[in-house]
Structure 1
Amino acid sequence: MASVSNSKIKLTYPGGQTAKASVGELKSVDPTWEPPACWYEPVFSPKHQDSKAWDCGRIMFWQDAGTIPKDKNAPTPETLATFAYDKVKVPDTEVELKPEGKSTVKLPTWAWLDKATFKDVTVRADLPGTGLWAVTTAKPVALHLEPGTEDAKTFPASGDCPVNEDGSIGDPYKKGNAGQDPPCGIQYLGATSGEPYELKASITWEISWEGTGGAKGDLPDGTFETTQDMNVQEIQSINR
């Protein structure tokens, strides 16, 4: 039996690849979703072309060159789209925070991501000898914050920060914002003691695809999570 690692599917990245020093794999929000377990691919010469299978029932069979077998395990544009989805790499970048390093009890911490940080990620998959192709696109649509303790508030209350029209998330803190609630952020109500809180920030990526013959569709959203240590101090005030 042939392993999927021997697949002849060719992957390209129309928008350029995410920097290898900082990448992560998406996790589908649908726990039951998996990339295709098997499909048939052409092998050998174009003159006498047959197909190979990976756990598909038939190991080999003859097929006219340039044609797609009439079989439930025949490759389709969606097959390639789901294969490409499994190869999507997204930026692994920490959320920018203000104040940095250490927050203060009951004072809001602003959180944001610059519009240049998260862009659409595209992966194209082509299966030579079949004319089949698909382009899978992952589009960032939301940031979700979990403070790492129940003794905290999030802004918005749901913890879900949508993407702005310009592609950014939240707003950078500016002078004059003191005392205001951030459009995206957290407020810790208790100080850390020894161990920092673990702030979890997960980006939701909306997945769509298009392929041969005008075929197109959607796949389950994907998420990628990062964790940041948060130290929270308490400021003492003296009343006279």
Structure 2
Amino acid sequence: MTTHSRRTVRWGAALGAAAMLWPGGVAHADAPTEDTTTPSTPPASGNANDQEVSAAVSRIRVTQKSGPTGGKQGSLSSTDVSWEPPPCWYEPVMTPEQLKKFSETGVALGHVSPHTSWGGQKLWTDHYRDGKDAYNYEDDSLITRKGYDDYNLGKDGYFWRGVARDPDSFDCERVMFWQDAGKIPDIPNAPTPETLADYAYDKVKVPDTKVELKPQAKSTVNLPTWAWLDKGTFQDVKVRAELPNTDLWAETTAKPVALHLEPGTDNAETFPASGDCQINDDGSIGTPYTKGRAETTPPCGVRYLHATNGTPYRLSASITWQISWEGSGGTGGDLPDGTFETTQDMNVQEIQSINR
């Protein structure tokens, strides 16, 4: 057998076992066959009948509970470069009645797992109505999944399917399966409140706020530039994520805790020396400049030691946001801090005295 990537091998086996009814595709098989070609990804949607399973996208509902909603906003970058939200998880997709309608109407084209799509009514009715086994790759093994009797009509529950946030993740490839209502599947990558907290982290939007400076945009060699943010400039941002048809929920809160300054050149000093300006008790950062303090050291600011020569320095100001979460079942904890950075041009002039 020709050597292929993990993705290619899985696609080949999946397409051999669960045939795609595309022009030039393979016929339905009662047992897995081997395919050494590299199949193309089938379309993500068919007709209006297949909206429930037309693409492997999440049904998690996200709501911002607090924090600013207008103006320029951006996403947080985790301070822990090794941290990532879960690459995939499972979710309830359809009731028996919905699956019956989908399977027996129209093209019946849709995803049965994040990377496998079935096209044609027979594939769906064979497995979910007529009890025939289905075959697919899970964890690098070919798995046989037993079929269902008449879509489990009359039972209370849902058919679940994997969602791959990371398209390169193949860890949630189990063919869409049944789970009784009120229960979470006891399988790897089943969703948890922390799954939702991580998902919400990815949806937190924080304000793109410009730091107040004195002097503004034009500094003077060897004289400090004061930097500050007034109280009320930043508020906690809380995002709630809920997974429908389960009791799972989580609220992720981002709280601003510090401002970090990077002058944009090695020929500068920051105040404090670390460049980290802590948030004050009243929610402000630094101290606003007042007349007569031009030569005093600010609690938060920068001093440039060399003038610019036509090209301004890029002063970077990043806010650190402390992330915590709480969720269903009394769960909760902390997630890695997040940062959001803005930059602004700074021109520095060679004047040794200035009246501010």
TM-score under structure 1 normalisation?
Answer: 0.93
Q: Which runs of 5+ in 1 are unaligned?
A: none
Give the alignment of 1:23-34 within 5 angstroms.
23-34=73-84
| Offset at residue 105 of structure 1 (A) | 0.8
| Amino acid paired to 2:321 | W
Equivalent residue number for residue 11 of structure 1: 62
Contact 2:67 2:235 in 1 (8 A): no
Work out which structure has the larger RCO, using CA pairs closer than 8 Å and 6 or more positions apart in sequence. 1
Larger proportion of strand: 1
**For each residue in 1:178-203, what CA deviation from the matched residue of structure 2 results, as whole angstroms up to 9, or x when unmatched?**
32110000001111101000101111
| RMSD over aligned Cα atoms | 1.8
The whole-number CA distance in structure 2 between the counterparts of 1:95 and 1:214 is 38
- Counterparts of 2:92 and 2:86 in 1: how far apart (Å)? 17
* In structure 1, distance between residues paired with 2:238 and 2:341: 19
Query: 1:222 aligned to 338, 343, 347, which one?
Result: 338
1:102-181 pair list within 5 angstroms = 102-181=218-297
User: Partner residue of 1:235?
Assistant: 351
1:119-162: CA deviation from partner (whole Å, max 9, x where unpaired): 11110001111100000001111111010111111000110000
Match of 2:200 in 1: 84
Amino acid at match of 1:32: S
Unaligned runs of 5+ in 2: 1-43, 45-52, 97-155, 164-169
Deviations 1:37-91 (A, max 9, x none): 1111112128341101134030211100121000121110000000000001101
Identity score, percent: 68
Aligned length: 236
**1:236 CA drift (Å):** 5.6
Determine the structure 1 residue equivalent to 2:186.
70
Give SS of 1:167's match. Answer: coil
1:169, 1:24 → 2: CA distance?
Answer: 20
Deviation at 1:4, TM superposition (A): 8.1
Letter in 2 for 1:12: T
SS of the residue corresponding to residue 231 of structure 2 reads coil
Using the size of structure 2 for normalisation, the TM-score is 0.64
CA separation in 2, counterparts of 1:24 and 1:235? 37
**Contact in 1 for aligned 2:67/2:236 (Cα 8 Å):** no
- Pair 4,192 (structure 1): closer, same or farther in 2 beyond 3 Å: farther
Give the secondary structure class of the aligned counterpart of 2:329. Answer: helix
Show structure 1 runs of 4+ deviating over 3 A. 1-5
Opposite residue 201 of structure 1, the aligned amino acid is A
